[in-house]
Amino acid sequence: MDIASTQAQIARLIDLLSTWGGPIQAVLPFAAIALFVVAVVPSLRRWLPVALGASLALLVIGEALLTWFHWRLWELCQVVNPMTGAVHGSVAVPLWVESEKLYVWGLVVAVLGMSIRRHRAELLPGAAITTALLMFGAALWGKPFTEPLPQFLGQYAGYLQAMGSGVPQLAEQAFRGMEGSRQFYYNTWYMWVHPPLLFISYGAFALSFIATLQMLRTRFSAYETTAYRWARFGYLPLTAGMLIGFPWAILAWQGESWWWSGKVNMSIMMWLLYTAVLHARLYLRRRGMWRWVAALAVLSFVVLVLTYLATYIVPGAHSYALAAPPPAAMASLTPIAGGIA
Amino acid sequence: MNDPVDITPVPAEETPARPRVAASSIANARGWDFALMMATVVLFGGLGLQSFLGTVYVWWAENSVPGWNATGYPGYIQAMNAIAAPQIILLVVIMGLCVPKRLFSRTALLAVSGGMLACGLLVWAVDGSLAAGLTAYLFLAALIQVAVVVMTVAGARGPSYLTEGRLTKTGSGLLHLGFIVFAIVVVALQRSTLMLPVFWASTALMLVGTVMSFYADRLAVRRVQRVVVEREF
């Protein structure tokens, strides 16, 4: 493993991403503001499909660039055992972690927004506003093009430094941490499936929420049907995404306190509430039941937003909050990797 | 979990002459269904509220009590488990009541449910483990649910559902079977070599059941005319 060459190639790759993606990132907040304005000003609404389509095109171009960046990282970032010299494999960083989360979520909501058929005129502004907020957040806080993957690149840089330090214990410790992250986080199939499923469900629930608000405003049952159709569309990937996390958590978080941790609690609460909505609406024909269904649906969406924020606010095994172990401490995963050392 | 606003007429060949049932009996059954559903929703709400309060507590403790993760977390887990246990047991019992309700009349249902509970309590008393008692109870519920699914697929008249259409009913039956099997995984199989295969089986049942239940109208080979009634609440 040529450490100096790898470091130089990664630095050049980050520069290239910044050069090509920087303009996209610079345009994102302005595109978001334009989309927001077109969505909220009634006289401009006829341009909304065009504005949302243009935003989607911008997001897709950026995502293609990010995909290329991840592909190149996969080619460059190998994990080598310093004791044996054996190559354990490359790190396949998923396309929706760290700085790229809000960006991908915005992309998913834009796609869902463009696919709206039923009550399109009423739902499209909400989808556009949600997309605009996510684009704005991605540009301001995510910065996927100018500050890409800070945690992964920081950890890998530390690993390369340790490998080149000439101190065997330091190199072995860094290797254990990096290999733990590779095996049980970045390269695990779960990380490639779980987040996109949740992004799709969150996007669908956002549209369901908008339709619920329309139902509350107009008291027209057709909006409830639309809200239900988006809710059922979101419920399926939510259930699948949460379920497949169960065996992964048992294996990867063995020995860690993850039961009843903040994010897990909130996720369970969100799923329970949406399950309650889908059950309660079976009795929609009962007098006044629609109010309960609407209240549950609104509460469910509020909890969805809190669940997302919990990742950053509430410490725990499934969290980026301060008290959580930093990703570099994924070395704690290595004991279950068995034969790594 | 189908769409109550959409009225889907059932083709004549799917609606054989049903035994005439008194309107009051139907109303009773509906009231019983509604009570069970409301109890389920209330328990979901209770567990949800507990999850929320637990999250707020974790947030507070992590930020206010130095070293809480190492010192206070085990006690917190114990407290959360103690609060959740009766709610989960009630939920399992209600699920157990929901399963045979598809097969038995209300009186027989109470007897069957009582028998299932007695079996669970007996296993708990003999084995000394609550998990064993719950497993026995869930296993019986799973057996009945399998019978319900088989009868539904076969088109038997026995099982009663709130929903219409065989695909929707089968989907509902499968997803509830999936939940029961998943509950067995959580209660009994977490450290077993059977955990993964049984877990994947429960996941498949739930997801296939949900798809069938939600999208029966699109999956059906023989489609029926759909009349959408839109109205003001």
With an 8 Å Cβ cutoff, are A268 and B48 in contact?
yes
Residue A31 has pLDDT above 60, yes or no: yes
Residue A331 has pLDDT above 90, yes or no: no
Distance between alpha carbon B25 and the CA centroid of its chain, in Å? 24
With an 8 Å Cβ cutoff, are B45 and A268 in contact?
no
With an 8 Å Cβ cutoff, are B230 and A222 in contact?
yes
Q: Which of residues 280-299 of A touch B (CB under 8 A)?
A: 280-286, 290-291, 296
Q: Could you tell me which residues are beta bridge partners of residue A89?
A: A79
Contact in structure between A198 and A238 (CB atoms under 8 Å): yes
**From the CB of residue A60, how many other CB atoms can be counted at a distance below 10 Å?**
13
pLDDT digits (tens, 9 = 90+) for A68-115: 999 999 999 999 999 898 999 999 999 988 889 999 999 999 999 999
* Neighboring chain B residues of A246 at a CB cutoff of 8 Å: 199
Q: Could you tell me which residues are beta bridge partners of residue A90?
A: A78
Contact in structure between A145 and A28 (CB atoms under 8 Å): no
- Measured CA to CA, the distance from residue A116 to residue A114 in angstroms comes to 6
Say yes or no: A316 contacts chain B, CB-CB below 8 A: yes
Residue B18 has pLDDT above 50, yes or no: no
Q: Which long-range contacts (CB under 8 A, 24 or more apart) does A80-86 make?
A: A80/A1, A80/A163, A80/A175, A81/A175, A81/A179, A82/A163, A82/A168, A82/A171, A82/A172, A82/A175, A83/A168, A83/A172, A83/A341
What pLDDT score does B4 carry?
46
- Measured CA to CA, the distance from residue B147 to residue B152 in angstroms comes to 8
Confidence of residue A256 (pLDDT cuts 50, 70, 90): low
pLDDT digits (tens, 9 = 90+) for A182-194: 988 899 888 899 8
**Out of B1, B47, B80, closest to residue A278 by CB:** B1
Tokens of A299: 């509460």
Give the residue-averaged pLDDT of A248-274: 79
Residue B29 has pLDDT above 90, yes or no: no
* Backbone CA torsion sign across A142, A245, A199, A92: positive
Q: Which of A126-130, A134-138, B10-14 has the lowest mean pLDDT?
A: B10-14
Contact in structure between A323 and B63 (CB atoms under 8 Å): yes
What pLDDT score does B30 carry?
63
With an 8 Å Cβ cutoff, are B233 and A276 in contact?
no
Nearest CA in chain A to B84: A260
**Out of B40, B195, B206, closest to residue A239 by CB:** B206
What residue segments make up the domains of chain A, in order of their start?
1-184, 188-341
* Neighboring chain B residues of A262 at a CB cutoff of 8 Å: 54-55, 58-59
Confidence of residue A156 (pLDDT cuts 50, 70, 90): very high
Q: Which of residues 11-70 of B touch A (CB under 8 A)?
A: 34, 37, 40-41, 44-45, 47-49, 51-52, 54-55, 58-59, 62-63, 69
Give the residue-averaged pLDDT of A27-54: 95
What pLDDT score does B161 carry?
61
Nearest CA in chain A to B208: A236
Say yes or no: A313 contacts chain B, CB-CB below 8 A: yes
Nearest CA in chain A to B79: A260
With an 8 Å Cβ cutoff, are B207 and A236 in contact?
yes
- The DSSP secondary structure of B151-170, one letter per residue, reads HHHHT-S----SS-SHHHHH
With an 8 Å Cβ cutoff, are B3 and A278 in contact?
no
- In terms of DSSP H, where are the helices of B72-127? 73-101, 106-127
With an 8 Å Cβ cutoff, are B55 and A266 in contact?
yes
Residue A334 has pLDDT above 50, yes or no: no
Helix (H, G, I), strand (E, B) or coil at B223: coil
Q: Which of A154-168, A268-282, B14-28 has the lowest mean pLDDT?
A: B14-28
Say yes or no: B87 contacts chain A, CB-CB below 8 A: no
Shortest distance between the Cα of A308 and any Cα of chain B, in A, equals 13
* Neighboring chain B residues of A290 at a CB cutoff of 8 Å: 233
For chain B, the average pLDDT equals 77
For chain A, the average pLDDT equals 87
Helix (H, G, I), strand (E, B) or coil at B8: coil
Contact in structure between A237 and A201 (CB atoms under 8 Å): yes
With an 8 Å Cβ cutoff, are B51 and A272 in contact?
yes
Q: Which of residues 229-258 of A touch B (CB under 8 A)?
A: 232, 235-236, 239-240, 243-244, 246-247, 250, 257
Say yes or no: B153 contacts chain A, CB-CB below 8 A: no
With an 8 Å Cβ cutoff, are B207 and A232 in contact?
no
The secondary structure of chain A, three-state, reads: CCHHHHHHHHHHHHHHHHHHHHHHHHHHHHHHHHHHHHHHCHHHHHHHHHHHHHHHHHHHHHHHHHHHHHHHHHHHCEEECCCCCCEEEECCCCCCCHHHHHHHHHHHHHHHHHCCCCCHHHHHHHHHHHHHHHHHHHHHHHCCCCCCCHHHHHHHHHHHHHHCCCCHHHHHHHHHHHHHHHHHHHCCHHHHHHHHHHHHHHHHHHHHHHHHHHHHHHCEHHHHHHHHHHHHHHHHHHHHHHHHHHHHHHHHCCCCCCCCCHHHHHHHHHHHHHHHHHHHHHHCCCCCHHHHHHHHHHHHHHHHHHHHHHHHHCCCCCCCCCCCCCHHHHHHHHHHHCCCC
With an 8 Å Cβ cutoff, are A266 and B51 in contact?
yes
- Measured CA to CA, the distance from residue A149 to residue B15 in angstroms comes to 60
**From the CB of residue A210, how many other CB atoms can be counted at a distance below 10 Å?**
25
**Out of B4, B63, B211, closest to residue A281 by CB:** B4
Nearest to A197 by CA among A231, A232, A237, A143: A237
Tokens of A24: 């996209």
Contact in structure between A128 and A38 (CB atoms under 8 Å): yes
Q: Could you tell me which residues are beta bridge partners of residue B227?
A: B7
What pLDDT score does A253 carry?
74
Give the residue-averaged pLDDT of A318-322: 56
Nearest CA in chain B to A323: B62
With an 8 Å Cβ cutoff, are B44 and A281 in contact?
no
Say yes or no: A275 contacts chain B, CB-CB below 8 A: yes
Residue B233 has pLDDT above 80, yes or no: no
- Measured CA to CA, the distance from residue A235 to residue A207 in angstroms comes to 13
Residue with tokens 């695909």: B167
Q: Taking the CA of residue B32 as centre, how many other CA atoms within 13 Å lie in the half-sphere pointing to its CB?
A: 20
pLDDT digits (tens, 9 = 90+) for B99-122: 666 666 767 777 887 888 899 899
| Mutate which: B34, B41, B194, vs A, most A CBs within 10 A | B41
Which of A220-224, A323-327, B102-106 has maximum average pLDDT? A220-224
What pLDDT score does B13 carry?
38
Tokens of A307: 């669940």
**Out of B5, B77, B228, closest to residue A260 by CB:** B77
What pLDDT score does A255 carry?
67
Helix (H, G, I), strand (E, B) or coil at B226: coil
Count Cβ–Cβ pairs < 8 Å, chain A vs chain B: 138
Q: Could you tell me which residues are beta bridge partners of residue A87?
A: A80
| Mutate which: B37, B42, B51, vs A, most A CBs within 10 A | B51
* Neighboring chain A residues of B90 at a CB cutoff of 8 Å: none
